[in-house]
Structure 1
Amino acid sequence: MSVERKCFYDWRDVAGEVVDFVSRNRDSVDYVTFVPDGEPTLDACMGRIIEFVKGETGVRVAVLTNASLLWMEDVCRDLEQADVVSVKVDSVSERVWRRINRPHPSLVLERVLDGIREFSSSYKGTLISETMFVRGVNTDKGVYRDIATFLRGLRLSKAYISVPIRTPAESFVEPPTERELVEAYEEFQGVLGSGRVELLNMPEPPPRLVSGDPVAWLLNTCAVHPLRYGEAVEALVGRVEDPVGLIEGLVRENLLLKTEYGGQCSSLGTLGVGSECG
Structure 2
Amino acid sequence: MDNKPKSFPPQEMEQPGKEHKMTPEPEIIRDGYKGSDKLKGKVALITGGDSGIGRAVAVHFAREGADIAIVYLNEDKDAKETRQLVEKEGRKCLLISGDVGKEDFCREAVKKTVKELGKLDVLVNNAGEQHAQEDIRDITEEQLKRTFDTNIFSMFYFVKEALNHMKKGSAIINTTSVTAYHGNKLLLDYSSTKGAILTFTRTLAQMVADKGIRVNGVAPGPIWTPLIPASFDKEHVEKFGQKTLLKRAGQPSEVAPAYVYLASDDSAFTIGEVMHINGGEMVTT
Q: Which has the larger radius of gyration?
A: 1
Q: Same fold (TM over 0.5)?
A: no
TM-score range, shorter chain: 0.3 to 0.5
Higher relative contact order (CA 8 A, sep 6+): 2
Q: TM-score, normalised by structure 2?
A: 0.36
Q: TM-score, normalised by structure 1?
A: 0.37
